Structure formats: C-alpha cells, structure tokens
Structure 1
Amino acid sequence: MINNLQDIQKISQTNVDTFIKIFGDWNKGWQAIAAEMTDYSKRAFEDGTATFEKLASAKSVEQAVEIQTNFAKRAYDDYLHQVTKIGGMYSSLAKDAYKPVEKAFQNGR
C-alpha cells in the first residue's frame, strides 16, 4: 500500500512539474510574439511618420509619388517579412507545446 501511495504521489508531482514547465514555456512564447508585434508596430509607425514628413516637404508631384511609392514598397516588404517571422514563432510555439504531450504518449507505451 505504501509503495502504491508513493508511486501515485511521485506521478502527481511529475505531472504538476510538467504542467508548470509547459505553462512557463507557453507564456514565454506568447510574450516573445507580443514583443515582436510591438516592435513591428513601432517601426511601422516611425516609418509612416518619417514618410509623411518627407511628403510634406516634397517640391513636386513626381517627388511625392516617388516618396509614396518607396514607402509602399518598404511597407509591403516589411509586412511580408513580419508575417513570415510571426508565423514561424506561432509554429514553434505549437511544436513546443506538443512536445510534452508526445513525450507522455511515448512514455505511456
């Protein structure tokens, strides 16, 4: 009886420790994604503000069109880069979250 109770306590403690680790890793992943999105938003805002200032000082319509065209290209390229990066972070988060489950199934067999 005592051995069974000790085994149950050991398994319970292992499960709690695993859950705490999973939750901590999950939380860190979401924090990294949030920080990345904040940085991207800040960069995009600063680039938009700088472009507006350039547009305000444009001497001709052609110069204004060139400034706007360059801004649109940069914004599009930055957006695609950011979407790819965030997608990779979400994918890593999902894979990392699944690892303990996969390990539990392997240990259970």
Structure 2
Amino acid sequence: MVKVEDIQQYGKEHFETAAASANTLQSGFEAIASAYGDYTKKSFEEGKSFVEKLAGVKSLDKAIEVQTEYAKSAYETFVAESQKIAELYGDLAQQTYKPFEGLIAKFNPAAAR
C-alpha cells in the first residue's frame, strides 16, 4: 500500500533532481556560450591580422603564401574549437541526466545494473 509520506518524499526527490538538472543546464550553457565567444573573438583577431598582412604584400607569390597560412590557421582553429565545444555539449548532456539516474534506478531495478 502506498503511503502519503512516500508520495511526498518522491515529489520532494523529483523536485530536487529537476532543480539540480536545471542548475547544471545553466552552467553548461554558460560555458558553451563562453567557448563560442572566445572562438569568435579569436577568429576575428586572426582575420584582422590576415587583412593587415595581405595589405602589406608586394607580390602575388607572397599574397598566396599569406592566404595559404591564414587558411591553414583558420582551419586548425576551427577544428580545435569545434572539438572543444562538442566536448562541452557531451559533458553537459552527461551532467544533466546524472541526477535522474537515481530516480530511474528506484523504479526500474534492471536499469541500475
């Protein structure tokens, strides 16, 4: 037989779990937004530097060399920052669902194994 106290306790646990998950979401999204901001700033600075170097070039060969260096640098930065942001999303997903594991295990003992 289900007791009122059991229902109240379940409600309290569920609320605490949801609050913990919401806090995790907030901090995770802040970290992701910060990473995007850092990448944008870095990309802008690299683009600005590229334009300044290109403006000072006197030959076509040097212009191609500067452009090639910029393309390589931009690609490497993109890949590195994309991996960093993807890891942040993965960590966020794991941390967000972590508080719910206890509730799931409580109602589905097979899931706890």
Task: State the TM-score, normalized to the length of structure 2.
Answer: 0.85
Q: Look up the SS of the partner of 1:51 in the other structure.
A: helix
What's the C-alpha RMSD, in Å, of the aligned pairs?
1.6
Deviates more, 1:59-68 or 1:46-55: 59-68
Amino acid paired to 1:43: K
Structure 1 stretches lacking a partner, 5+ long: none
Distance 2:100 2:24 in 1: 14
Work out whether 1:73 is the aligned partner of 2:66.
no
1:88-103 equivalences under 5 Å are 88-103=87-102
Distance 1:24 1:11 in 2: 20
Residue 53 of structure 1 deviates from its aligned partner by 0.7
Q: Work out the number of aligned pairs and report it.
A: 107
Q: Look up the SS of the partner of 1:58 in the other structure.
A: coil
Q: Look up the SS of the partner of 1:89 in the other structure.
A: helix
Distance 2:21 2:55 in 1: 51
1:1-109 equivalences under 5 Å are 4-108=3-107, 109=109
Task: State the TM-score, normalized to the length of structure 1.
Answer: 0.88
